[in-house]
Amino acid sequence: MSCVSVHETHNILNAEFFMHNESSALEFIPVKIFTTSPDGHTIIDPEILLSAYCGGMFPMADGPDGEIRWFSPEMRGIIPLNGLKISRSLKQTIRKRIFHIRIDADVEGTIRACADRDEVWISETIIRSYVNLHRMGFVHSVEAWHDGTLVGGLYGVAIGGAFFGESMFSRMTDASKAALVALVRRLNERGFVLLDTQYRNSHLDTLGCMEIPKEEYLVLLNDAIQRDCHFSQE
């Protein structure tokens, strides 16, 4: 699919699929957003899912089996691609090459590892939806491996020159951070201009995350999705 203007997409989606409530969540108006993947699983329709990202929205589930809700925060987390903070200890870890960084070697395994926690918004439907987007070329993972085992990583959605970070996990110290450093390097090499983290938290703050108002974010987003960038192209 091709993304139309972010403002046009945002208005279309709000008119047809969503209505606002008092939180950052968008209440779903019951229309058909689900379809069946090529391997027979229930997934979010990929065109709706990609259009939501182009309009500044993203889905989260209420637990592993819960209802899927849509969010468009008033303040949006981003990591400036020229502003990643790398601590001295992380620099040492990277220099020692403790981790072997791989791209898209185990996308589903990375997503499921991100979902393996007590409080989770990644349901089975969301997992299958993003695996399907990976088959379509939109979802990618950056993985940290150690001694042949996946020990950390992240995944997200790439559209144009925007990368929408979804989640990250770590089973060894600095594994997810090493993956993030590799992600930022890759995005810069390929001309990306926006790294969206959705929200800001204390962990991301240590890596250079900042918040910007939704209006400013949408301007950056509209520019980014018009760019011709290729995440997986070598």
**Do residues 197 and 209 make contact, with C-beta atoms less than 8 angstroms apart?**
yes
Q: pLDDT value at position 234?
A: 59
pLDDT at 205 over 60: yes
First-residue to last-residue Cα distance in the chain: 22
Domain boundaries, the chain: 6-73, 76-225
Whole-number Cα distances in Å, 157 to 51, 78, 91, 146, 217: 12, 14, 26, 25, 16
Match 């409080």 to its residue by tokens: 119
Considering only CA atoms, which of 229, 191, 202, 156 is closest in space to residue 81? 191
Beta strand spans in 137-179 (E)? 139-146, 149-159, 162-170
3-state class (DSSP) for residue 77: strand
- Segment 69-74 shows an average pLDDT of 92
* Helical (H) or strand (E) element with 54: helix 46-54
Q: In what order do the strands lie in the sheet with 68-71?
A: 18-20, 25-28, 68-71, 58-61
pLDDT at 27 over 90: no
List residues bridging with 101 in a β-sheet: 144
pLDDT tens per residue across span 211-226: 999 999 999 999 999 9
Q: What's the whole-model pTM score?
A: 0.89
Top CATH class of 76-225 equals alpha beta
pLDDT tens per residue across span 48-69: 999 999 999 999 999 888 889 9
3-state class (DSSP) for residue 13: helix
3-state class (DSSP) for residue 219: helix
**Do residues 51 and 12 make contact, with C-beta atoms less than 8 angstroms apart?**
yes
DSSP 8-state code for residue 29: P
